[in-house]
Amino acid sequence: MDRKQNAIAGIIDGKKLKIAIVVSKFNPDITGKMFVGAVETLRKNGVLEKNIQTVWVPGAFEIPLACQRLAQTKKYDGLVALGCVIKGDTDHYHYVSDGSIHGVMDVMLKTDLPIGLGIITTVNLKQAQERSSGRHNKGAEAAQAVLEMINNQVK
């Protein structure tokens, strides 16, 4: 179901921000489109190309470790985590999706570094394709979310 969202996202001045994007290489036809959406959103908000670092990891399960290592460098104002887990015939889907999503949340809370969560979990390929394209691009949404969290930091 597609729900209408309130238009709370605006353009944020990202000229001075440094953002790292962690992208899963698994399901590259999906994560590649999400990556493009994330970069477009960052650029639209003024983040300079030289201030966008990209780290490619094998799959969604490896995203939290890459996020943790990037957070520990203290070089970034925020991170974007992009991956795609599609349900198959075994329970593997549940372990990978739960582990990767909880792992990213754990890194965010322990390091106090905003992370835009763009790890999609779908029942089938069609759903993944819908969530990685056009106005439903979850990579773009994750990038916008991290910019808003950086902009709205509670001190």
Q: Which domains does the chain have, with CATH numbers?
A: 19-151 (3.40.50.960)
- For residues 37 and 135, is the Cβ–Cβ distance under 8 A? no
DSSP, collapsed to helix, strand or coil, labels residue 15 as coil
Strands in the chain per DSSP E: 19-24, 52-57, 78-86, 115-122
Annotated catalytic residues are 92
* One-letter amino acid for residue 35 of the chain: F
Task: Give pLDDT, residue 89.
Answer: 86
pLDDT along the chain (155 residues), means of 10: 48 90 97 98 97 98 98 98 94 92 98 97 96 94 96 68
Whether the model clears a pTM of 0.75, i.e. scores above it, the answer is yes
Task: Give pLDDT, residue 8.
Answer: 46
Q: What count of residues does the chain have?
A: 155
Residues with Cβ within 8 Å of residue 86, at least 6 apart in sequence: 27, 93, 122, 123, 124, 125, 128
Express the helix, strand and coil content of the chain in percent, nearest 5 each: 50, 20, 30
Task: Give pLDDT, residue 90.
Answer: 87
Task: Give pLDDT, residue 6.
Answer: 40
* Cα-trace Rg, the chain: 15
